[in-house]
Structure 1
Amino acid sequence: MNTAGWLDDTRASYDTVAVSYAGMLREALAGEPFQRGILALFAELVRARGNGPVADIGCGPGRITAHLHGLGLDAFGIDLSPAMIDVARQDHPGLRFEVGSMTGLELADASVTGMLAWFSLIHVPDDEVPTVLAEFSRVLRPGGVLLLGFHAGEGARLKTEGYGGHPMRVYVHRRSPARVAAWLNDARFTVEAEMTHHPAPNVEGGFVFAHR
């Protein structure tokens, strides 16, 4: 598996599919009660730890950022794809969105109370995950809440098209919650919960809650 240039490939792929991706997923949460429940739990944990800014890392077109805002959180979004950020700003003009990479966040140390990576770590190669989690640890306040959502399982595949048949070049990595939890422990997080969700046959989502 050659994942060299993964950041450039991910940025270009999501620039290409941004509009169709947003259109296909804009109302998806309405049919996902388990995901809404997980996000509600995240919001409750953030409020219990004093509220404050919440960063949605890999926010795409901003649908989860907006949902968290609707739950009363001071949420803002960051995404690698400028086209995704353009769509997010158009769809949610009252919220803050910025272009940025999770490998080097332009956020101050200990500046957010909550952090979410909702199916955005799935394109990060294994050897880059510790760098990303170190950034998350740096930016999160002591006691701050982290929620990771991802495709559960094992292995990776190269995705060459998606979201209306547009060309893409991204590796989609599947990981077990236990493996993600072990990475978090190494990054000096305290893992609070590991969950799996089976929304359809042969489809498995993983969710891990942790705090700094």
Structure 2
Amino acid sequence: MNDLNKEIEQQLRNENADFVHFVDISMLDIRQNRGFPYALLIGIAINPHFIKTVHDSPDYVHTLSDEYAQAEKRVGMIADKLAGRLISKGYKALSQSDNALITENTFDFTTKTSVLPHKTIAVLSGTGYIGKNNLFITAEYGAAQCLGSVLTNAPLSIMEHEIKSSQCGNCNICRDVCPQKALNGVVWDMNVSRDEIVNVYDCVTCLKCLVYCPKTKAYMKRHITMK
């Protein structure tokens, strides 16, 4: 790992990010990577006590002021700040925060898609996989993480990673708890599209598929005692 990687890691620790991964995206088409060879994947873990609150509240309603929404907002701000720092050093960089994607006109509100989802970069990082809930899942946090990303040409130290296979197996808890029946119980692989997994137009972001995921519950149990 070179000095720039270490500097970025320190900056993100100061911003209270929980992890950063340095990812090669040069193999993607230019429409997706916009000519950048690398991406920084930034993650903020969702507070396990918030996970428990949602888990124990069947009628919980997600709002723009709750822990999940605030984590999503914060990771976007961190991405914007990191991109600005890289640009100030003379490199090219592009934040993929919500505001930046809107400015760049690379988010389609009709189809609810961006040209390069954070989850695509996350999969390429080799640290997790897409679950049947259409969320990125890692061994450490389950689905309880909010992701951000920055694309750059900065000379980062990059390690190659194998893409992880889905570990959902026969588990369909997320599909079964979804009140909108938006999930199809489809096992993800690199050839499976988002629309095969979930009907995003029916999803109401109730967070049940996130908090009831066994991987998320394992993360929660490691930090707090469940009833």
Tell me if TM exceeds 0.5.
no
TM-score range, shorter chain: under 0.3
TM normalised by structure 2 equals 0.27
Larger Rg, first or second structure (1 or 2): 2
